[in-house]
Amino acid sequence: MKHILVVDNQISTCDLLSKFLIKKNYGVATITRGQIALEMLQKRKFDLILAEYNLPDISGTKFFDEVSKSNPEAEMILMGKEVNLKNVVAMIRKGARNFISKPLNPDELIEAIQEAEKHTLHRVADETDSHTERLPAKPSPDMVTGQSKKALAIVEQVKRVGPTNFSVIIQGETGTGKESLARQIHQISSRKEEPFIAVDCGCLSRDIAGSELFGHEKGAFTGAAFQKTGFFEQANGGTIFLDEIANLPMDIQIALLRALQEKVIRKVGGSKEIPIDVRIIAATNENLLQKSETSNFREDLYFRLCEYTLEIPPLRERPEDLPLFIDFFLEQTSKELGRPKAKLCKESRDLLYEYHWPGNIRELRNVIRRSSLFTDSHNFIQADSLPSRITNYKDSLCNIPEYSDELENVPTVKTGDLKSTALRAESKRIMEVLERVRYNKTKAAEVLNIHRKTLYVKLKLLNIPC
What value, to the nearest 5°, has the Cα angle with vertex 312 and ends 347 and 263? 150
**Which of 27, 26, 37, 30 is CA-nearest to residue 12?**
30
Residue 204 forms part of a structural domain: yes
Cα 259 to Cα 209, 266, 307: the distances in Å are: 14, 9, 16
Residue 139 forms part of a structural domain: no
Q: pLDDT at position 39, please?
A: 84
Task: Report the distance separating Cα 52 and Cα 59, nearest Å.
Answer: 10
Strand residue runs (E) in 299-438: 308-311, 343-344, 380-381
Q: pLDDT at position 464, please?
A: 65
DSSP H helices, 141-195, are 149-161, 178-187
Q: Do 196 and 236 have their domain in common?
A: yes
Separation of first and last alpha carbons in the chain: 45
Q: pLDDT at position 396, please?
A: 58
Q: Do 251 and 334 have their domain in common?
A: no
Question: Up-side HSE of residue 408: CA atoms within 13 Å toward CB?
Answer: 4
Q: Do 356 and 392 have their domain in common?
A: yes
Residue where a domain stops, chosen among 296, 311, 326: 311
Task: Report the distance separating Cα 65 and Cα 56, nearest Å.
Answer: 16
**Which of 226, 269, 210, 260 is CA-nearest to residue 240?**
260
**Average confidence (pLDDT) over 242-268:** 90
Q: Do 336 and 292 have their domain in common?
A: no
Q: Do 205 and 338 have their domain in common?
A: no
pLDDT at 92 over 70: yes
What is the domain-level CATH number for residue 337?
1.10.8.60
Yes or no: say if 117 and 3 are a contact pair by the CB < 8 Å rule: no
What is the torsion angle, in degrees rounded to the nearest 10, for the CA atoms of residue 161, residue 165, residue 168 and residue 174? Answer: 80
pLDDT at 168 over 50: yes
Give kind and range of the element (H or E) at residue 6: strand 3-7
Residue where a domain stops, chosen among 253, 279, 311: 311
What is the domain-level CATH number for residue 188?
3.40.50.300
Q: Do 304 and 352 have their domain in common?
A: no
- Give the domain extent around 21: 3-130
- Phi/psi for 72 (5° steps) reads -60, -25
Residue 303 forms part of a structural domain: yes
pLDDT at 128 over 80: no
pTM to 2 decimal places? 0.58
Q: How many CB atoms lie within 10 A of CB 323?
A: 14
Yes or no: say if 120 and 126 are a contact pair by the CB < 8 Å rule: no
Q: pLDDT at position 416, please?
A: 52
Question: Please, which residues bridge with residue 283 across strands?
Answer: 170
- pLDDT-derived band at 466, boundaries 50, 70, 90: low
**Which of 242, 238, 239, 218 is CA-nearest to residue 228?**
218
Q: pLDDT at position 347, please?
A: 93
- pLDDT-derived band at 133, boundaries 50, 70, 90: very low
Residue that wins the pLDDT comparison between 89 and 212: 212
Q: pLDDT at position 379, please?
A: 92
Task: Report the distance separating Cα 45 and Cα 341, nearest Å.
Answer: 25
Number of domains, the chain: 4
Residue where a domain stops, chosen among 348, 372, 396: 396
Residue 138 forms part of a structural domain: no
Residue 29 forms part of a structural domain: yes
Q: Quick: pLDDT tens for 386-425.
A: 998 898 877 655 554 444 444 444 444 444 556 566 667 7
Mean pLDDT estimate for the chain: 81
Q: pLDDT at position 145, please?
A: 67
**Average confidence (pLDDT) over 254-263:** 91
357 three-class SS: coil
Task: Report the distance separating Cα 151 and Cα 144, nearest Å.
Answer: 7
Strand residue runs (E) in 365-441: 380-381
Q: Helices 60-70 and 34-41 meet at what angle, rounded to 10?
A: 10
- Phi/psi for 349 (5° steps) reads -65, -40
- pLDDT-derived band at 446, boundaries 50, 70, 90: confident
Q: Do 158 and 301 have their domain in common?
A: yes
Task: Report the distance separating Cα 107 and Cα 320, nearest Å.
Answer: 54
Residue that wins the pLDDT comparison between 165 and 446: 165
**Which of 69, 33, 35, 28 is CA-nearest to residue 49?**
28
Cα 137 to Cα 131, 161, 293: the distances in Å are: 11, 25, 45
- Phi/psi for 46 (5° steps) reads -125, 150
Q: Do 378 and 290 have their domain in common?
A: no
Q: Do 351 and 432 have their domain in common?
A: no
Residue 291 forms part of a structural domain: yes
Q: Do 426 and 336 have their domain in common?
A: no
pLDDT at 17 over 60: yes
**Average confidence (pLDDT) over 270-299:** 87
Yes or no: say if 62 and 262 are a contact pair by the CB < 8 Å rule: no
User: Which range is least confidently modeled, 158-172, 188-202, 423-437?
Assistant: 423-437
What is the domain-level CATH number for residue 445?
1.10.10.60
Q: Do 66 and 180 have their domain in common?
A: no
pLDDT at 37 over 70: yes
User: Which range is least confidently modeled, 135-139, 187-191, 244-248, 323-327?
Assistant: 135-139
Q: pLDDT at position 83, please?
A: 66
Residue that wins the pLDDT comparison between 444 and 181: 181
Q: pLDDT at position 25, please?
A: 79
32 three-class SS: coil
Residue 215 forms part of a structural domain: yes
154 three-class SS: helix
Residue that wins the pLDDT comparison between 384 and 396: 384
Yes or no: say if 282 and 230 are a contact pair by the CB < 8 Å rule: no
Q: Do 159 and 300 have their domain in common?
A: yes
Q: pLDDT at position 201, please?
A: 87
pLDDT at 187 over 60: yes
pLDDT at 427 over 60: yes
Yes or no: say if 16 and 45 are a contact pair by the CB < 8 Å rule: no
Residue 343 forms part of a structural domain: yes
What is the domain-level CATH number for residue 33?
3.40.50.2300
**Average confidence (pLDDT) over 100-119:** 82
**Which of 18, 375, 60 is CA-nearest to residue 216?**
18
- pLDDT-derived band at 125, boundaries 50, 70, 90: very low
